[in-house]
Chains A and B, each alone.
Chain A
């Protein structure tokens, strides 16, 4: 049997991205985000999650996308701990046996490990976000 993986499909400025469900802890609405001057400008502040304060990343700033701050907060496990990520919307869950296609050479500097591959979904290409590579 082929191994199946579930991905959460999300949108940023009208384009689709994905994160593996195995990394997802919660989908919620951002509220009571506390400013923290110790965080870089890529973060909006901190958010209380299960009794702990976790940093909230504005992923549009990381990816240099225009537009306003996302209105949906994902809580994900990254290589550097639990992290909040602001996105525009979550659209659906993709349950698939696809293996993500590696990013072709010559597209992005290999030191920028923001994507762990490409998925196909409904005639679209979906960029799989690398939870461990997003943090500077």
Chain B
């Protein structure tokens, strides 16, 4: 069974998210920070009358690499995008380095036990597409882990 996925790059790795409904891809914009929020929260953005929380999933996955590093040149941020998604009636955004494509992929197989430097419990599985490994994210776990 094939499903639609959005594939994006984050710190040089390919990730996929299964598409259930409409999505929006926005150029990078600054978000309103919320003091004392969870560490993976980038902030809030107001887009077309809805306030979305924006999550820095790279931070949640324990990845370093390009991102809002203190003292980094501003160009790093302008290269990024925000993807707005809906999962289980929850509307939210995630920050990515760049969007690669929308595509149909097979069901993911179980994720490798270890993916270098990352928390694998946040993956539904892995899919190979044209010999490239795409890690499929499990938002249910990503967003409720606090």
Contacts and interface: CB of A to CB of B under 8 A. Distances in A.
Contact of B38 (A101, A108, A115): A108
B146 interface: yes
Interface stretch (A25-33, A70-78, A89-97, A120-128): A120-128
Contacts of B44: 104, 107, 118, 125
Given A15-B33, A64-B35, A124-B32, A107 B90 contact: no
Contact of A106 (B32, B35, B51, B55): B55
Contacts of A65: 35
A120 B49 CA distance: 10
Interface residues of B, number: 21
Main secondary structure of the interface of A (DSSP, over half): loop
A109 B34 contact: no
B123 to A, nearest CB: 19
Minimum-distance CB pairs A-B, first 4: A63-B35, A125-B32, A104-B53, A108-B37
Interface of B: 32-38, 41, 44-46, 51-53, 55, 90-92, 143-144, 146
15 contacts: A15-B32, A15-B33, A63-B36, A104-B53, A104-B92, A105-B90, A106-B53, A106-B143, A107-B38, A118-B51, A124-B32, A125-B32, A125-B44, A125-B46, A125-B51
Given A63-B36, A108-B41, A124-B32, 5 more contacts: A104-B53, A105-B53, A107-B34, A107-B38, A108-B36
